[in-house]
């Protein structure tokens, strides 16, 4: 059997990364290539980097390409954006990437990609209940997967807590910025996840993002009804999820 491959790109605030993904295992099929996110991170500058990544791997046209992006994506378009250049507002990412690369690319929210990858290959592999997956980083990304299907653009990092926008009080970047200890930060996470539990009644919560490498310092402090566990794919989750969603859209891979 030949290996089924798709290509994933993950656009982040500090780096834009890409790699081919083995769809049978969810492993990267080659080394990840990373280019610093241009500053300012305008549409033209970011699309140029995505083109550079694709050129680096010289992909056959038959390989589906997925791009994970840190904003909601509705019919390819970015309605608003929290953590990249504001000139993205209203831009059709799908069309911009297609114009730049000359190929169709599936475009998805970065946390949706990462969360879906966890359900396909990682910490929530094959879970058919309601799984809520979070990435704690510069902001808070979320993915809701229920019955193996993704509810796209959940944007639960922006629910309103008593202190305001959740990610501005609870993201991992805020922990660093305010110099919070893990127990201090965990108190904020408790407020956040209590609200998530109340609103969505997930069967399982998965926590990813760079800080999840230190999960034993804060996850055991959280008291919630559903289990709350660390993500497994870590910093490849966005790439893997974008590749998988592209492969599913193109018909190369079956949905769960
Ligand atoms: C954005 C989300 C994104 C998350 C993680 C949030 O600020 O609104 O779309 O998934 O950050 O990058």
For 131-155, what is each residue's pLDDT tens digit? 999 999 999 999 999 999 999 999 9
Q: CA-CA distance, 9 to 15, in Å (whole number)? A: 11
Query: Has residue 242 been placed in a domain?
Result: yes
The predicted model gives 154-173 an average pLDDT of: 98
Pair 103, 65: CB distance under 8 Å: yes
Q: Is the CB of 135 under 6 A from ligand 1?
A: yes
Decide: residue 231, CB within 10 A, 0-12 exposed, 13-18 middle, 19+ buried: buried
Statement to judge: residues 103 and 203 lie in one domain: no
Query: Has residue 49 been placed in a domain?
Result: yes
Statement to judge: residues 155 and 75 lie in one domain: no
Q: CA-CA distance, 216 to 225, in Å (whole number)? A: 18
Task: For residue 157, give the ligand 1 atom closest to its CA.
Answer: 6
Statement to judge: residues 36 and 85 lie in one domain: yes
Query: Has residue 17 been placed in a domain?
Result: yes
Q: Is the CB of 109 under 6 A from ligand 1?
A: yes
Query: Has residue 164 been placed in a domain?
Result: yes
Query: Has residue 118 been placed in a domain?
Result: no
CATH code for the domain in which residue 189 is found = 3.30.420.40
Query: Has residue 120 been placed in a domain?
Result: no
Q: Helix or strand or coil: residue 227?
A: coil
Query: Has residue 184 been placed in a domain?
Result: yes
The predicted pLDDT at position 36 comes to 98
Statement to judge: residues 75 and 166 lie in one domain: no
Q: Is the CB of 111 under 6 A from ligand 1?
A: yes
Total count of domains within the chain: 2
Q: Is the CB of 139 under 6 A from ligand 1?
A: yes
Statement to judge: residues 11 and 39 lie in one domain: yes
Print the SS3 string covering 173-226: HHHHHHCCCHHHHHHHHHHHHHHHHHHHCCCEEEEECHHHHHHHHCHHHCCCCC
Statement to judge: residues 20 and 101 lie in one domain: yes
Statement to judge: residues 132 and 73 lie in one domain: no
Percentage of the chain exceeding pLDDT 90: 96
Statement to judge: residues 13 and 102 lie in one domain: yes
Domain that holds residue 133: 125-232
Return the biggest CA–CA distance within the chain: 55
Tens of pLDDT, residues 184-227: 999 999 999 999 999 999 999 999 999 999 999 999 999 999 99
Model confidence at 29: pLDDT above 90: yes
Model confidence at 2: pLDDT above 90: no
Question: At 3, is the pLDDT very low, low, confident or very high (cuts 50, 70, 90)?
Answer: confident
Statement to judge: residues 161 and 183 lie in one domain: yes
The predicted pLDDT at position 76 comes to 97
Query: Has residue 119 been placed in a domain?
Result: no
Q: Is the CB of 11 under 6 A from ligand 1?
A: no
Check whether the bond before 120 is cis (ω within 30° of 0): no
How many angstroms does the Cα of residue 2 sit away from the middle of ligand 1? 36
Q: For residue 99, how many other CB atoms are within 10 A of its CB?
A: 10
Q: Is the CB of 237 under 6 A from ligand 1?
A: no
Statement to judge: residues 175 and 188 lie in one domain: yes
Tens of pLDDT, residues 80-130: 999 999 999 999 999 999 999 999 999 999 999 999 999 999 999 999 999
Model confidence at 1: pLDDT above 60: no
pTM exceeds 0.95, yes or no: yes
Statement to judge: residues 224 and 243 lie in one domain: no
Task: For residue 142, give the ligand 1 atom closest to its CA.
Answer: 10
Pair 80, 109: CB distance under 8 Å: no
Statement to judge: residues 103 and 146 lie in one domain: no
């Amino acid at each position: 059997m030949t290996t089924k491959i798709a290509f994933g790109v993950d656009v982040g605030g500090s780096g834009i990364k890409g790699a081919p993904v083995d769809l049978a295992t969810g492993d990267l099929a080659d080394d990840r290539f990373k280019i610093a996110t241009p500053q300012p991170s305008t549409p033209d500058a970011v699309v140029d980097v995505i083109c550079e990544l694709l050129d680096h791997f010289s992909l056959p046209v038959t390989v589906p390409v997925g791009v994970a992006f840190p904003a909601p994506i509705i019919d390819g378009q970015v309605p608003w954006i929290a953590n990249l250049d504001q000139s993205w507002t209203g831009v059709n990412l799908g069309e911009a990437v297609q114009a730049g690369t000359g190929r169709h690319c599936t475009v998805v929210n970065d946390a949706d990609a990462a969360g879906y990858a966890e359900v396909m290959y990682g910490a929530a592999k094959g879970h058919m209940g309601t799984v809520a997956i979070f990435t704690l980083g510069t902001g808070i990304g979320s993915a809701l997967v229920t019955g193996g299907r993704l509810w796209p653009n959940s944007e639960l990092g922006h629910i309103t807590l008593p202190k305001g926008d959740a990610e501005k009080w609870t993201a991992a970047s805020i922990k660093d910025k305010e110099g919070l200890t893990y127990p201090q930060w965990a108190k904020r996470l408790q407020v956040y996840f209590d609200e998530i539990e109340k609103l969505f009644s997930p069967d399982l919560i998965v926590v990813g993002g760079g800080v999840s490498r230190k999960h034993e310092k804060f996850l055991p402090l959280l008291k919630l009804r559903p289990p709350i566990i660390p993500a497994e794919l870590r910093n490849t989750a966005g790439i893997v999820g974008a590749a998988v969603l592209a492969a599913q859209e193109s018909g190369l891979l079956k949905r769960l």
